[in-house]
Amino acid sequence: MDANELLANYAAGERAFRFANLSGVNLHDIKLSGANLYFANLSDAKLSGANFSFANLSRANLSGVELSGAYLIDANFSDANLSGAYLIDAKLSFANLGHADLREANLSGAKLNGVKLTYANLKGANLSNVNLTGANLSNANLINANLCNADLISVNLSNANLNGANLSNANLDDANLKDSSLISANLSSANLKDASLIQTNLQKAKLHQAKLSRSNLAYAKLNQADLLKADLRDANLARTDLTDAILNQTNLEGTILSLTINSHISNEGIKAPYQWKTFYFRSKTEIKIAQALDRAGVLFYPNCKARVTLDKSRGSKETNFLVFHQGKWGILEVDSEQRYRASGTATDSEDLSEATLGKLDQLKVHGLSIVEHYDSARCWNQPDKVVEEFLNILSQT
């Protein structure tokens, strides 16, 4: 049966065209809505603008097909071969593409809301600017796929492979990415608010300026991930692996960090690899002071972050040690050139001194008059004397 005979039979009311051969045909804007084209061969056919809504194309060969702008709503493409297909701006809402082969397919701008893409192979596919709201892509292969600017609200990507995928500026609000793999994926400026990322592998992922507020990252792998300026407010990072993650200017307000694996976190441009009594420190010198304060039997808070007024605006500052002694509060700072130079605040000794004094002045604005700064070499060699001197100053104020 050739194309003309098939179209004539369709016009006469026939809908069964199983195993039909339409390979290479040029039939723009044809209407085969509701047709049964099971196992049909439409490879390399030119069918832009065609209407295959509600049609059955299960197991069909559509490799290299041109279906740009086509109407494919509620069509069945399960197990079909759509590798290298052109589906730019196609309307595929609620279509069944389960187990379909869409390798290197171009679906840019397509409407895929509510589609079923479970176990589909979308390796290297172009899904930029698509609408996948509420779609099911669980267990799909999206390695190196392009999903930039895609609308993925409430999408199901559980167990999906998105290694190396581009999801920059994508909207993944309330998406399910549980147990998925996003190794080296680009999620820069992506919206992941309220997303489920439980046990998700985000190793080496680019997440700078990503919106992750209220997301669930429990047991996720974020080691070596770039979270520069990311928003993690009220997120769940319980038992998350943050080894060597970049957290420069990351917003962690209200974040759950219980039992987080975070040795070697990069915070404000410096490393925090040292642990003592479940607390993390940026240098062994700070641990020396912590131990001396412990021996002195005083109440102290190491590396606590506070909200302060900075030039008439509000900001965050971290102190080395907030100490309470004889009814008075004071701050003990350990000089660390590494801290200021790595963060870019200072480049030489004079800049270092100015940066340190500026930090102390910002704290004194709030009425905390005892803010003492001690040289790191002295803190290392004479920690108990430094603490004794500091406590004497605090008690005499």
388: left (phi over 0), alpha (psi -120 to 50) or beta: alpha
List residues bridging with 313 in a β-sheet.
310
Domain ranges of the chain: 279-396
| pLDDT at 373 (0 to 100) | 86
Band (pLDDT 50/70/90 cuts) for residue 199 is: very high
Total H helices, total E strands in the chain: 6, 8
State the chain's mean pLDDT as an integer. 88
Rounded Cα gap, residues 228 and 222, in angstroms: 13
Residue 40 tokens read as: 């049909």
pLDDT tens profile 357-389? 555 555 555 556 678 889 888 999 999 999 999
CB distance 213 to 233 below 8 Å:
yes
| pLDDT at 349 (0 to 100) | 45
Which one has a higher pLDDT value, 355 or 98? Answer: 98
Pairing of the two strands 279-281 and 313-325: unpaired
Task: Provide the whole-model pTM.
Answer: 0.69
Is pLDDT above 50 for 251?
A: yes
CATH topology of domain 279-396: Endonuclease; Chain A (3.40.960)
Residue 15, CA distances (Å) to 33, 37, 55, 116, 137 in order: 9, 8, 9, 24, 30
CB distance 282 to 271 below 8 Å:
yes
CB distance 76 to 96 below 8 Å:
yes
Is pLDDT above 50 for 272?
A: yes
Residue with tokens 């290297």: 124
